Chain A
Amino acid sequence: MTEQFDVIMVGGGHNGLVCANLLAKAGKSVLVLEANEQAGGAAVTQSFADGYSVSSGAHLLYGLQPQVERDLGLKVRLAADNMSTIALSDDGKHIRIKGSSVQGVGDNDQAEMRDFHKQMLKFSSLLRPFLNKTPPRLGAGGREDLATLAQLGLKVRLLGKTDMRDFLRLIGMNIYDEVEERFSNPLLKGAISLDAVLGTHLGPRSPNTILTLLYRLAATGGRIASPAGGMGAVTKTLADSAQKQGVDIRTSKRVKQIIVDNGRATGVRTEDDDVFMSMTVVSNADPKRTIMDLVGTRHVETGFARRIHHLRMRGNAAKLHLALDGLPAIKGLDKKDFAERLVIAPDADYVERAFNPAKYGETSPNPVVEMTFPSLRDTSLAPAGKHVMSAVVQYAPYELKAGWDDAARARFEDAIMDTLARYAPDLKGRVVASELLTPPDFEQRFGMGGGHWHHGELTFDQFLFVRPVAGAAQYAMPLDGLYLCGAGAHPGGNVSGAAGRNAARAILATEKGS
């Protein structure tokens, strides 16, 4: 007997859980099929050494949307909120950035930073309302589509002449030119550059890197938080809430095929050949996997398949996790400083140079690093008195020219450890265990194609009404009954829940309309 549901969710990532929850809330019977042993996708807390756990993917919350928490009636517990960023200097003269204020730089830079931050916030607030909305469909002439577009146009116009000119100048620009023009302190330039390129296949001199920064700010105004219990606790909260709402979550169930019958999605087949039927299938997998592998190109049209095939989603960020027998010593840092966000990006050129090898399929010999010591504020993550370091490291191209064999991994890990040792000379001696996750690891472990955290680069050509591709930006795929709800859909990556929430609303609106 084949089980039947109103909605089947392929993959239980955080967006999938949010979407499933809202659909169940609207009265649907919803089945979530998750390939891994725990739901949460890449937003999970996993043990990597005896007694030590860490957020396997993203480790900081930049953008969980208040609308998501409100609609689901839940509150994510934070271990730390409004964290500062400390840009490390090897001579111990670090700078501290929190919002618009920055310590450790000259008066001029401080004033520029206030101005820069104010401007970025103003511009990012133009984008903010779009995060929690289905993007307008261009050329369709629907009243709501036109209204949404007009709203953006009007908002840009209302900026006034000077700001509008600046907005239009900056939006397509690269972050390098902007920080070089404004600031003199190299650490400040480096730290802002890092923010703009985190999780992308872009260097500070790549176009689009102001857009990526604005987008990050749009989510929560640049507020950085660390969830209690790691990112897994966030998705655990989401999964519990979904289950309470009646969502049937089954783990260790990998979907291998979305079944298409007579031109519409009608269910899924799992790797162990179970078949589940539903008139609505929602995919939390990335767009490429969804269309090219799970659906199969034969069930969609050629132009669409070609656009999906050409999606740019080459992951370039690695994670390094260290189990430490104690905190390392970093010149100029107190113990409490380890609870903040530490970055190694000593100047903008350093970041660009780290990116250079990635263009040619090589890892950075001097990588940029964003690190946290989450155990400092969250003792559940490490044995008493011990600590965990979680670092996002760039650049580690998905398609490494030499291939990601053990030697390549060891070489890259050595490069990271050498970089870290310049700031924390005693770190190597404190390592009890380590884990390096490269983009292919992310792909293998979490199913994200190319190991790309955002299910596709967030640049103008894959943004807003062309995300993931033109003609499919409204969550409904051009195959009846199939929807996309993950980071590959608008508004993209980060643990925000916005894509999942928007998708659920789009699905319910479609049903109402038909």
Chain B
Amino acid sequence: MTIQEVNQRRLQSPFYSRLAEVDRLNEWHSWKGYTSADAFYDHELEYFAIRNSTAVFDLTPMSKYRISGPEALAYIDRLVTRDMHKIRVGRVAYAVWCNDQGQVIDDGTLFHLRDGEYRLCSQERHLAWLQAAALGMDVTIIEETADIAALAVQGPTSFSVLKKLGLDGIEDLKPFGLAHFDFEGTELMVSRTGFTGDLGYELWIEAAQAEALWDALFEAGKLHGITPIGTHALEMSRIEAGFLAAGVDFLPAEETVRPGRSRSPFELGLGWLVDFKKPNFNGRRALAEEQRRGSEWRLVKLDIEGNKPAHHSYIYAKKRGRLKQAGFITSATWSPVCKQNIAIGTVRVPHGEAGSSLWVEIYYQREMHWSRVMAKATVVDKPFWDPPRRRATPPGDF
């Protein structure tokens, strides 16, 4: 009998050689099995690259699926809650998909690459669900996570960098648009999307061309403050943008065990993505029922007094003059650009109406000793950070 060795080492993204080269901290974690950096030299400075120059983030570990075939549109339209007929070739759609109980499995972006050809990009892995959804439909689903290298290029100077890279016509690319370019003889797909709430792009290319793309990009960005960033910096910016993280702000429904631990799109503030004009989509019946009955939870964005990030805090609401537990914080950070103490949390309905006040119980440690403050928080309904440059087309030439 021969013993088959199973490779249990962490995977390396096709950019790994370049990531290792710029790394000074040796602070890595596993992201879906890939070696990913928390930060390369200082997460706050990396964060400021997102807001002030150009930040480059390796998002290869994100799940990527190619969906094609004569019924690709019908397939996707049934998969997600929004109307995919409206998403033309060359456009990208943010979408959520649910199980039959109307609970969110994940959110992600759908790229309409060509006629009858899409890419789905999400945080979690979903091949089993996507294949189940394909039963009885003429559609092909290919997992291309490892085959496609992807970089987020985000920040006010990102447009200038890509122009310098030689991407002619990039100035016409609108938010949630995508275009194909030639990069040294290989097709490079660029979408004007991101997870930072700022001007930014995502670059997609065959894994074999990853290093060449990285090198050319950094060469082009030399005078524009181009900086590699790790997940810490990205996390700060995505909370500022008010974006949700799967596994953090909600749990993928198929991974929850206890009842009541998953969320519907309504409960995540994503009701605008649910289109009941579609006769059928996964979760439709349950969501229609929820709409009739009312939701149990509400996602809130909070502007909190003070400067102590409200990690893992309980949220309280005033009821007959007394504070009662109403929910909990799922993401929190001090926002350097907004100069605000911000957080994303979940509260029970009817709490958390926009403009209402809640209280957050924050524990913090100073020289071993723990202290506690009860900080007042205001529910806001807009992203904390949403600069006009994010949408300007053509973007500013910084």
Given contacts A297-B135, A478-B285, contact A303 B280 (CB under 8 A): no
Instruction: Flag if A471 contacts B100 (CB, 8 Å).
Output: yes
With A292-B135, A292-B136, A478-B285 as known contacts, state yes or no: A302 contacts B280, CB within 8 Å.
no
Contact B137 A298 (CB under 8 A): yes
Alpha-carbon gap, A309 to B135, bound state (A): 8
Q: Is B64 an interface residue (CB 8 A)?
A: no
For the complex, what is the distance from the CA of A467 to the CA of B149, rounded to whole Å?
A: 46
Q: Is the CB of B280 within 8 A of A301?
A: yes
Q: Which residue among A292, A300, A303 has the maximum number of chain B CB atoms within 10 Å of its CB? A: A303
Q: What are the residues of chain A within 8 A of B74 when measuring CB–CB? A: 298
Decide: A305 near B136, CB < 8 A? Known: A298-B78, A471-B100: yes
Task: Judge if B398 is at the interface, Cβ distance under 8 Å.
Answer: no
A263 to chain B: closest residue by CB = B279
A260 CB contacts on chain B under 8 angstroms: 279
Interface membership of B189, Cβ < 8 A: no
CB pair B280–A298 under 8 Å, yes or no, is yes
Which of A292, A296, A299, A306 contacts B132, CB < 8 Å? A306
Whether, in the assembled complex, A510 has its beta carbon less than 8 Å from a beta carbon of chain B, the answer is no
| Cβ-defined contact, A303 with B99, below 8 A | yes
What is the distance, in angstroms, from B180's C-beta to the closest C-beta of chain A? 30
For A300, the chain B residues whose CB sits under 8 A away are: 280
Is residue B282 within 8 Å, beta carbon to beta carbon, of the partner chain?
yes
Specify which chain B residues have a CB less than 8 angstroms from the CB of A305 in the assembled complex: 132-133, 135-136
B79 beta carbon closer than 8 Å to chain A: yes
For A309, the chain B residues whose CB sits under 8 A away are: 132, 135
On whether the beta carbons of A302 and B279 are closer than 8 Å, the reply is no
Closest Cβ of chain A to B106, distance in Å, is 14
> Which of B71, B136, B284 is within 8 Å of A301, CB to CB?
B284
Assembled-state Cα–Cα distance A447/B282 (Å): 29
| B283 at interface, CB cutoff 8 A | yes
A290-326 vs B, Cβ < 8 Å mask (1 yes, 0 no): 0010001111111111100100000000000000000
Residues of A within 8 A of B137 (CB): 297-298
CA distance A296 to B101 in the complex (A): 20
Per-residue CB proximity of B123-144 to A under 8 Å, as 1/0?
0000001001101110000000
- A303 proximity list for chain B (CB < 8 A): 99-101, 132, 282
Minimum CB–CB distance from B279 to chain A (whole Å) comes to 3
**Bound CA–CA A296/B74 (angstroms):** 12
Please, what's the 1-or-0 string for B273-284, where 1 marks a CB less than 8 Å from any CB in chain A?
000000111111
Chain A nearest CB, measured from B44 CB (Å):
43
**Distance from B138 Cβ to chain A, minimum over Cβ atoms (Å):** 10
A300 to B133, CA, bound (A): 10
Residues of chain B lying within 8 A (CB to CB) of residue A302: 78-79, 99-100, 129, 132-133, 135, 282
Against B, the Cβ 8 Å flags (1 = close, 0 = not) of A223-240 are 000000000000000000
Query: How far is A138 from B231 in the complex, measured between Cα atoms in Å?
Result: 43
Task: Report the bound CA distance from A4 to B71 in whole Å.
Answer: 31
Which B-chain residue is minimally distant from A303 (CB atoms)?
B100
Min CB gap A384→B, angstroms = 53
Q: Is A262 positioned at the interface, with any CB of B under 8 Å from its CB?
A: yes
Q: Tell me, in angstroms, the Cα distance from A400 to B274 when the chains sit together.
A: 46
Q: Which of B71, B79, B137, B280 counts the most A-chain CB atoms under 10 A from its CB?
A: B280
A263 / chain B contacts, CB cutoff of 8 Å:
279-280, 284
Highest count of chain A CB atoms <10 Å: which of B100, B132, B279? B100
> From residue 253 to 285 of chain B, which have CB atoms closer than 8 A to chain A?
279-285
Chain A residue at smallest Cβ distance from B98 = A301
Kindly state the interface size class of chain A when it binds its partner.
Answer: 10 to 19
- Tell whether, in the assembled complex, residue B279 and residue A301 are in contact, meaning their CB atoms are under 8 Å apart: no
Determine the distance from Cα of A300 to Cα of B285 in the docked complex, in whole angstroms: 10
**Is A299 touching B100 in the complex (CB atoms < 8 A)?**
no
Whether the Cβ atoms of B100 and A296 lie closer than 8 Å is no
Contact assessment for B283 and A298 in the assembled complex, using a CB-CB cutoff below 8 Å: no
> How far is B100's CA from A297's CA once the two chains are assembled, in angstroms?
13
Q: Which residue of B lies closest to A304 (CB)?
A: B100
8 Å CB contact of B280 from A292, A299, A306, A471: A299
Chain A residues near B282 (CB-CB < 8 A)? 301-303
Most buried by A among B74, B78, B135: B135
Distance in angstroms between the alpha carbons of A297 and B131 in the assembled complex: 13
Give, as a whole number of angstroms, the nearest-CB distance from B112 to chain A.
Answer: 19
A262-B279 CB under 8 A given contacts A298-B137, A305-B132: yes
**Assembled-state Cα–Cα distance A300/B284 (Å):** 10
Min Cβ gap B68→A in Å is: 17
A260 and B74 alpha carbons, distance in the complex (Å)? 15
Query: Chain B: which residue is nearest A292 at the CB level?
Result: B136
Chain B residues within an 8 Å CB radius of A296: 136
| Structural contact, A301 and B132, CB atoms closer than 8 A | no
Please indicate the chain A residues that have their CB under 8 angstroms from the CB of B283 in the complex.
301
The distance from the CB of A54 to the nearest CB of chain B, in whole angstroms, is 37
Closest chain-B Cβ to A6's Cβ sits at a distance in Å of 23
Cα distance, A296 to B137, chains bound together (Å): 9
Q: Which of A262, A298, A301, A306 contacts B285 (CB 8 A)?
A: A301
B41 to chain A, nearest CB (A): 45
Could you say which residues of chain A place their CB within 8 Å of the CB of B135? 292, 297, 302, 305-306, 309
B 223-244 to A, binary, CB cutoff 8 A, 1 in contact else 0: 0000000000000000000000
Alpha-carbon gap, A299 to B279, bound state (A): 8
Question: Is the CB–CB distance between B100 and A298 below 8 Å?
Answer: no
Interface residues of A in 434-466 (CB under 8 A from B): none
Q: How far is the CA of A304 from the CA of B286 in the complex (A)?
A: 13
Q: How far is the CB of B129 from chain A (nearest CB, A)?
A: 7
Q: Collect the chain A residues with CB atoms within 8 Å of residue B100's CB.
A: 301-304, 471, 478
**Contact B285 A297, beta carbon cutoff 8 Å:** no
Q: How far is the CB of A262 from chain B (nearest CB, A)?
A: 5
- Complex Cα–Cα for A263 and B277 (A): 10
Residue of B nearest to A480 (CB): B285
Q: How long is the Cα–Cα vector from A478 to B129 in the complex, in angstroms?
A: 19
| Closest B residue to A264 using CB positions | B279
In the assembled complex, the Cα of A49 lies from the Cα of B99 at a distance in Å of 53
* Listed residue (B71, B133, B137) with the most chain A CB atoms within 10 angstroms of its CB: B133
- B38-82: CB near A (< 8 Å → 1, else 0) gives 000000000000000000000000000000000100110011000
A310 to B74, CA, bound (A): 23
C-alpha gap A477/B133 in the complex (Å) = 18
Chain A residue contacts of B279, Cβ below 8 A: 260, 262-263, 299
CA distance A303 to B283 in the complex (A): 9
Q: Which residues of B contact A471 (CB under 8 A)?
A: 100
* Closest B residue, CB atoms, query A302: B133
- Chain A nearest Cβ from B58, distance in angstroms: 32
**How far apart are the CA atoms of A296 and B129 in the complex, in Å?**
18
Most chain B CB inside 10 Å of its own CB: which residue of A292, A301, A302: A302
How far is it, in angstroms, between the C-alpha of A301 and the C-alpha of B98 when the chains are bound? 10
Alpha-carbon separation in the docked complex, A253 to B99 (Å)? 37
B-chain residues with CB within 8 Å of residue A306 when the two chains form the complex? 132, 135
CB distance from B142 to the nearest CB of A (A): 19
Q: Which of B86-139 contact A (CB under 8 A)?
A: 99-101, 129, 132-133, 135-137
B75: chain A residues at CB < 8 Å are 298
Closest to B284 in A: A301
Rounded to whole angstroms, the CA-CA distance of A65 and B280 in the bound complex is 38
Closest B residue to A470 by beta carbon equals: B100
What are the residues of chain B within 8 A of A299 when measuring CB–CB?
Answer: 279-280
Q: How far is the CB of B65 from chain A (nearest CB, A)?
A: 15
Cα distance A286–B101 in the bound complex, in angstroms? 24
Q: Chain B's nearest CB lies how many Å from the CB of A467? A: 18
Quote the shortest CB–CB distance from A28 to chain B (angstroms). Answer: 25
Since A262-B279, A301-B280 are in contact, a sample of 9 more A-B pairs with Cβ atoms closer than 8 Å, ordered by chain A residue number, is: A296-B136, A298-B280, A299-B280, A301-B284, A301-B285, A302-B132, A305-B133, A305-B135, A478-B285
9 nearest interchain CB pairs? A263-B279, A297-B136, A303-B100, A306-B132, A302-B133, A301-B100, A262-B279, A301-B282, A302-B282
- 10 CB < 8 A contacts A-B: A263-B284, A297-B136, A298-B74, A299-B279, A301-B78, A301-B282, A301-B285, A305-B135, A309-B132, A309-B135
Name B's A-contacting residues (CB within 8 A). 71, 74-75, 78-79, 99-101, 129, 132-133, 135-137, 279-285
